[in-house]
Amino acid sequence: MLYSQKGFENKPAEYTNLLGTKQKREGQVNYNYLDVPVLLKINAGGFIAEAGPQYSYLISANDETKVTTTSALNGTPTTTESQNKRDVSGLNRNELGYLAGIGYQADNGLSLNLRYTGAFSDFVKSDNGTYFNGDLKNARHSAFQLSLGYLIPAK
């Protein structure tokens, strides 16, 4: 079982809708997960290849997004902070995914691994068009993981 933190950063970019209203988002959003990978691992002379499915459970979220909206009518900007910063009701708490990786394990027990993980399912509930104004519809997690480990020898 692994703890992982997934998420994204809102780079300060400005968008204009059809009515001329401008919106700028900035900040970051983090999602905290417990991951349970089930791996097939092949060790060939210390070189490791691994792959398999992964179940992830969303523990919590932290949304630190600030949105600045400028009306096309009067040009006055209004700034709002994220509401319900830790609300996970609009998110799928259960996620099924996959991972694949390569690595090396030395005879002394030290190991270095690189993995890629991805999700088969969207992390925003399909009936929730209000989460980030629907911009995250069909969004799925994916990440690279780098790990350094030590295998404790058996007696």
Q: How many CA atoms lie within 13 A of 74 on its CB side?
A: 4
**Mean pLDDT over all residues of the chain?**
85
d(CA 107, CA 101) in angstroms, rounded, equals 20
Structure tokens that stand for 54 in this block: 């992964």
* pLDDT score of 28 more than 80: yes
Quick one: average pLDDT of 111-118? 95
Please choose, from the candidates 23, 19, 47, 59, the residue with its C-alpha nearest in 3D space to the C-alpha of residue 111: 47
pLDDT over threshold 90, residue 36: yes
User: What pLDDT does 65 receive?
Assistant: 80
Answer yes or no: are the C-beta atoms of 37 and 50 closer than 8 Å: no
| Cα–Cα distance, 145 to 124 (Å, whole number) | 23
Q: For the chain, give every domain's residue range.
A: 2-150
pLDDT in tens, 65-96: 888 888 777 777 777 766 557 778 888 899 99
Question: Model's pTM, two decimal places?
Answer: 0.77
- The residue with greater pLDDT, 132 or 155, is 155
Whether 42 has a pLDDT exceeding 90, the answer reads: yes
- Most confident option among 46-55, 71-80, 119-128, 143-152: 46-55
